[in-house]
Amino acid sequence: DAVPLGDRANVLFMSTPVTYGRGRGLVHATGGQTEIGKIADRLQSIKEDPTPLQRNLNHLGKILGIICLVVCAIVLVEGLMLGGEFLPIFMTAVSLAVAAIPEGLPAVVTIVLALGMKRMADQNAIVKRLLAVETLGSVDVICSDKTGTLTQNEMTVTRLYTPGRVIHVDGNGYQPEGRMLLDDQPVDAARDAVLNRLLTVGVLCNDATLVLDEAKDASILGDPTEAALLVAAAKAGLGQDDMQQRYPRLSDLPFDSERKMMTTVHAGFPEAERVSLTKGAPDIVVTRCSRFMGQDGPEMLTDLLKEQILEANRQLAASALRVLAFAWRTAEAEGQELETDMIFVGLMGMIDPPRSEVRDAIRLCKSAGIRAVMITGDYRETAVAIARDLGMIGQKSRVLAGNEIDSLSDEELKTAVEETSVYARVSPDHKVRIVSALREQGHIASMTGDGVNDAMALKSADIGVAMGITGTDVSKGSADMILTDDNFATIVSAVREGRIIYSNIRKFVAFLLSCNVGEILIIFLATLILGPAYIPLLPIQLLWLNLVTDSFPALALGQERGEPDVMLRQPRKKHEPIMNRQMLIGIASQSVAIFAAVFIAFQIGLNRYPAEGMASDGARTIAFITLIMAELLRSFSARSENYPVISLGLLKNTILNKAVLLSLALMLIVVYVPFLNPIFSTVPLSAADWLFMVPLALLPFAVAEIGKWAAGIWNKKRG
């Protein structure tokens, strides 16, 4: 156990795929004692905290439960004190208590989250846990791997060095399209002996394969670094198949970590019957060379030129390029002697280029108050260069390496994570410490990973994100979300969708509560003012309102496409309640407006449809219809807390339009279908009734829009 996992070269771990061959080993651990088993045990010990939405809805449920009991008691006592009969008053109190609870809320939340999961899946983000959809909208730190997520995972040669010159290679990825430029002028490899030999060594001393399909789209088989060499040669017109036929391989010395070189022996070269080609680490290869290749043949490699070559290597490496050196010799010798007294040809510098869409995604993160953090096992210089290129860090930003993380205590790491956006040479255990420190600082963090050892970090994060292409089954099983394209921009798109979903949940919660509180005020105040015989709404009418006409618009509000500034807002705090001060003021004003509209309509109805000592069915029908229309018209204003509905497009939400039409149809059915009149205690209304009901029903909508306008002016004055 004292030996790091990565250094246990003679150990075969459980779940390692074996593609071919035979072997014999000694089993020293099984089940829970294996490394996989240890990870599984640790995963079981991690307890999942409730999501922000769970906490908010649980809190809201407790408040509504208390309100329900209080309302029931107050209405019952009020009615009895005013001389009403017990059974009708009791039935009204119970119905009103039921109306006070938005029964459709859990179903609407579930449906909205499920539809959000579908939209995210359409954007290459598969969310495994329903409530994680909303949590994504709370994320304020995105911790991402570099390779394949921020970058294309397609190594690309961008620089060629031969003694005395640096040639630039354009084009990205594995597509064999691009030019070779020296001082902005194209270079013809066919007429340049040194460049031709450099590219030839790269093609032949190589075990990868470049594959072009019928559409000429390129893919690779083998190591990405070796594939980059094939692509560079193909840009100069040197095809792999042609080169292998002209210079068949006779033998090879595979790469190993001690020699840091690979050598192949070939026939067909004019210099000798057998020629060896070598690639490897520049500092190793250069010391094994005694000559260098010039345009007119090999020349002596002086100490001064060696130092110039090594300085060129350092400059390329400082630009975050992975550098390989290339050499050759005639192959009279055998074995490792082939890698001595060689002729130096040149260097190739390559990089895994950033994904084109990631820069815009990171800019979007910054505008949304989200910090993008790179966590990579690569070297510090490479990580910093990529991060700067993507705009993740400035000149003075802090960078932490794995060994520096080891030297920090947990408290020191908590401070460090607030100012660090790049972590280099990190292990999976470092990831766990980083995400734990972020969470303890109050952040809601997502963490990406693809390996078995990343499972702990994925499980510890608020949102664990596994790679769908390169990820292991263990990492996918531990994650909340899987990226089918391994793309950082997909995470940002998912965060945007999460924000939209949470905003929509707030909208329909505010809509439902304003309607329900309005209904409570109507029953309570009308009974208090007019007496228990003049209750404006009967129990069955309240239940019909709550179960049918409220739910459809609420569900439609959950399908809003998002406001223009959804990614310009700062992330909400971890313990921020779902109902803030602005929302409570909106609910209160809307409830009062609904009460005023319905109470006035009810008063007019009592005059138009009088009854001795009690409210008539006609008056109650007017109150019932006015309330339904007021709530349905209010749903259009509920599409945004801040934006006037005109600026969003009054009828842009086609789902809401259909929901309102359906609810209106259900409303008309209970009024104008004769056999339903006695069930709902309704009567058919005249055209004259509609002339005053419709304007009154517009009152809550008008109050909401005026409120947005006033709030906008107030916010501008405050700066």
Segment (H or E) for 109: helix 104-122
Nearest to 432 by CA among 449, 418, 407, 444: 449
Give the DSSP letter of residue 497. H
The 10 Å Cβ neighbour count of residue 55 is 16
In angstroms, rounded to a whole number, what is the distance separating the alpha carbons of residues 104 and 96?
A: 15
- Cα dihedral value 632, 634, 635, 641, nearest 10: 180
Nearest to 536 by CA among 589, 588, 609: 609
**Please, is 69 exposed, middle or buried when counting C-beta atoms within 10 Å of its C-beta (0-12, 13-18, 19+)?**
exposed
Catalytic residue among 7, 49, 140, 145: 145
Q: Which residues pair with 142 in a beta bridge?
A: 372, 446
The region, left, alpha or beta by phi > 0 then psi within -120 to 50, assigned to residue 420 is: beta
Active site residue 145: yes
Give the DSSP letter of residue 133. H
Summary count for the chain: helices (H), strands (E): 27, 21
Segment (H or E) for 716: helix 699-717
Task: Locate 274 and state its tokens.
Answer: 């057998």
In angstroms, rounded to a whole number, what is the distance separating the alpha carbons of residues 128 and 115?
A: 13
H-type alpha helices, 140-247 = 193-204, 224-235, 240-246
Q: For residue 349, which phi and psi values (nearest 5 degrees)?
A: -110, 130
In angstroms, rounded to a whole number, what is the distance separating the alpha carbons of residues 674 and 296?
A: 105
Task: Locate 514 and state its tokens.
Answer: 């304003």
> Given the structure tokens 């947005």, which residue do they identify?
708
Name, in order, each residue with C-beta under 8 angstroms of 424's C-beta and a sequence gap of 6 or more: 376, 377, 378, 379, 380, 382, 383, 384, 399, 400, 401, 402
Task: Locate 685 and state its tokens.
Answer: 């209304």
Name, in order, each residue with C-beta under 8 angstroms of 15's C-beta and a sequence gap of 6 or more: 36, 452, 474
Is beta strand 275-280 parallel, antiparallel or unpaired with respect to 463-467?
unpaired
| Residues 167, 195 contacting (CB under 8 angstroms) | yes
User: Widest CA span of the chain, in angstroms?
Assistant: 121
In angstroms, rounded to a whole number, what is the distance separating the alpha carbons of residues 689 and 629?
A: 13
H-type alpha helices, 479-616 = 488-530, 539-544, 551-557, 581-608
| Residues 383, 374 contacting (CB under 8 angstroms) | yes
Using DSSP, state whether 327 is helix, strand or coil. Answer: strand
| Residues 154, 356 contacting (CB under 8 angstroms) | no
| Residues 448, 121 contacting (CB under 8 angstroms) | no
In angstroms, rounded to a whole number, what is the distance separating the alpha carbons of residues 161 and 317?
A: 13
Q: Which amino acid is at 587?
A: I
Using DSSP, state whether 150 is helix, strand or coil. Answer: coil
Q: Which amino acid is at 481?
A: M
Is beta strand 141-144 parallel, antiparallel or unpaired with respect to 445-449?
parallel
Q: State whether the Cα torsion 543-548-552-555 is positive or negative.
A: positive
Q: Which residues are catalytic?
A: 145
